[in-house]
Amino acid sequence: MDQTARKAAIYIRVSTDAQREEGYSIDAQKEALTAYCVSKGIKHYDYYIDGGFTGSNLDRPEMQRLIRDVEQDRISHVLVYKLDRLSRSQKDTLHLIEDVLNLHRAAFVSLNESMDTGTPMGRLMLGILSAFAQLERENIRERTRMGMKERVKAGYWMGGGKIPFGYDYDSEQGILVPNTDAETVERMYRLYLQGYSPGNIAEMTGLKYDRQVMQILKRKTNTGVIVYQGEEYSGRHKPIVSQEIYDRTMLEMEARSGKNLHAEVNLLTGLVFCGHCGAKMRYQKWGKKGHKLVCYSRQGSKAYLIRDENCPQEHVWADEIEEAVVEDLFRFSAKKQLDKSQDEAETVEMVLQGQIEKMEKRLRRLYRLYGEAEDEELRQEIEEQREELKGLREKAVLEAERKTLSRKRTRTLEAISSLADIWSEMKPLERRVLVDQVIERVTVTDRFVGIDYKI
């Protein structure tokens, strides 16, 4: 292409922050660069303006158009107000100059640094200044990292990025806030500890893949902590599950790893604790004879689960403990009678509802009277009645919750009422689910077994 037909390219870039800085606005850069062209007698020039784009890469629309025009030999000069307007990356800057502009005989001019790559000194200055621009960018990144770490240390969420399932990000408070999916997350932990597979849990909770279930269960954010650069910090956000539930879930994952869940389901996983030191006890394969229950204080593989390094608890055969638990469970189910408090709950709830309805009618009458003739005594009586109504409604809510718990307890008792008759016909997973519903904790002290029931 004829050299005289080529034009100068005035390239202007502003980032979001730079638009607020004096001297970096689009108009300011355009004015200075146009004046330079006039002073040098350059009559043919065009503007290439990227507004609101970072200089950390070349993925900018006008930059790409400029590169295409250079490669088609349409450009004689590329002019910028300052070197970092072209790019903040030394690698990208040198690539543009050496592999694009020089290859197509296009000179590069940076007004602020008085640089012209048409001269040897200009090319030397380019390499030096590009290195400084890269250094500044890395310093900014490092300062940003340090600021982020301090933010996380104070318990605030990193901001932006991918928000964990079950939470929303409150930008004003700078913290995570549980949303409607939090109940689904809590349910996932409960189902997993009851023995369900990740695939089953995905189907039951409406997720697409079992891998998503595992990712959510492993996320420590759910316990109220923030993990940043491999370190854990206490977050200001509300946890979805307790640390105990999370630890039990991780232990269950470890117990299941490398095993066929349907072939082997340990009956008491996550429920057994050492009576000497209070640490959890885990199933451990013991040759061909079966499993033993091992106190984590004695096992030592997980330092955070150790309660006493000198714990005297011996390893015990898991099947012996399971047999003792099952026998006690049979005796427990045989002597438990169905709770009769549900009928009482129904009666109390009806009485409270009747009182609430009467109070609401009385308040409506008082409001009408007050509307006809404003009276201070009437106003005070209305306030008193409102407070009393508020108390009745709170009692009704508590009674409804008690009724729900009573029904749940009744269903559980009904399920175990004939446990001894159906136990042999139940699958391992069904047994595991039922035990988790009924038993809160199994404590092993030497060979003595203590059981705390939920009902």
Q: Is the dihedral of CA 238, 243, 244, 246 positive or negative?
A: positive
Q: Where are the beta strands (DSSP E) in 309-389?
A: 316-317
Q: Are 215 and 202 in contact (CB under 8 A)?
A: no
> H helices of 194-290, where?
198-205, 210-218, 243-256
3-state helix, strand, coil in the chain (%, to 5): 55, 15, 30
Q: Which of 31, 33, 129 is nearest to 84 (CA)?
A: 129
Beta strands in 291-355, from DSSP E residues, in sequence order: 291-295, 316-317
Contacts of 51 (CB under 8 A, 6+ apart): 13, 14, 19, 26
Q: What tokens does 276 get?
A: 């000497």
- Residue for token digits 């004879």? 289
Query: What span, in angstroms and rounded, lies between the C-alpha atoms of 39 and 316?
Result: 92
- CA-to-CA distance for 280 and 260, rounded, in angstroms? 23
Amino acid identity, residue 443? T
Instruction: Give me the residue label for tokens 């508590």.
Output: 398
Cβ atoms of residues 181 and 165 within 8 Å: yes
Tell me, yes or no, if 15 is annotated catalytic: yes
Annotated active-site residue in 15, 89, 297, 406: 15
Nearest CA to 10 out of 72, 85, 68 is that of 85
CA distance 190 to 192: 6
Sign (positive/negative) of CA torsion 120, 124, 129, 134? positive
Of 243, 37, 6, which is closest to residue 106 (Cα–Cα)?
Answer: 6
Which residues belong to the active site?
Answer: 15
